[in-house]
Amino acid sequence: MVALMAGSVSAQEPVSQSRPQRTPEEEALKQTTRLVRELEISDSVRIDTIYRMHLKYARFRQKGLTRAENMQRMQSIYDELKLLLTPEEFERFMNHPAEQPRHPRGANVIVPNRPTQPIERLSKDQR
């Protein structure tokens, strides 16, 4: 039985190697396509600018970043998108309904309509 378990463990590849890694160009295209579709952007100049921004950060990501560097990279992406998108588009991007709200970790973000106390502690009339 031990031999069977050892054989099955050695036959499995690590999860990171089971999926082919995308090139920076593929990653940038995927991210840009998703953003353009999500926000319904049709201006080709803006789409090209967004693609080039995604490509820059996809190439930077390949360098094997530390957690802090990756957090800074994500914050830089948000900051740059804030300049490239209209305020309405950026708001829709940050609060897309199909996903969790996009907020950089560590950012002091106040989430509206969220009780400050645990729900168990609220009285019935406060719920």
Higher pLDDT, 24 or 115: 24
Specify the pLDDT at position 98.
56
In angstroms, rounded to a whole number, what is the distance separating the alpha carbons of residues 45 and 110? 34
- The answer, as to whether pTM is greater than 0.75, is no
Single-letter amino acid code for the residue at 10: S
| 8 lies in some domain | no
Q: What's the total number of domains in the chain?
A: 1
* pLDDT score at 101: 52
| Whole-number pLDDT of residue 102 | 56
Domain that holds residue 75: 21-96
Would residue 119 count as lying in a domain? no
Cβ-based burial of 36 (10 A; exposed 0-12, middle 13-18, buried ≥19)? middle
* Residue 115 placed within a domain: no
Residues 70/76/77/82 CA torsion (nearest 10 deg): 150
Average pLDDT, the chain: 75
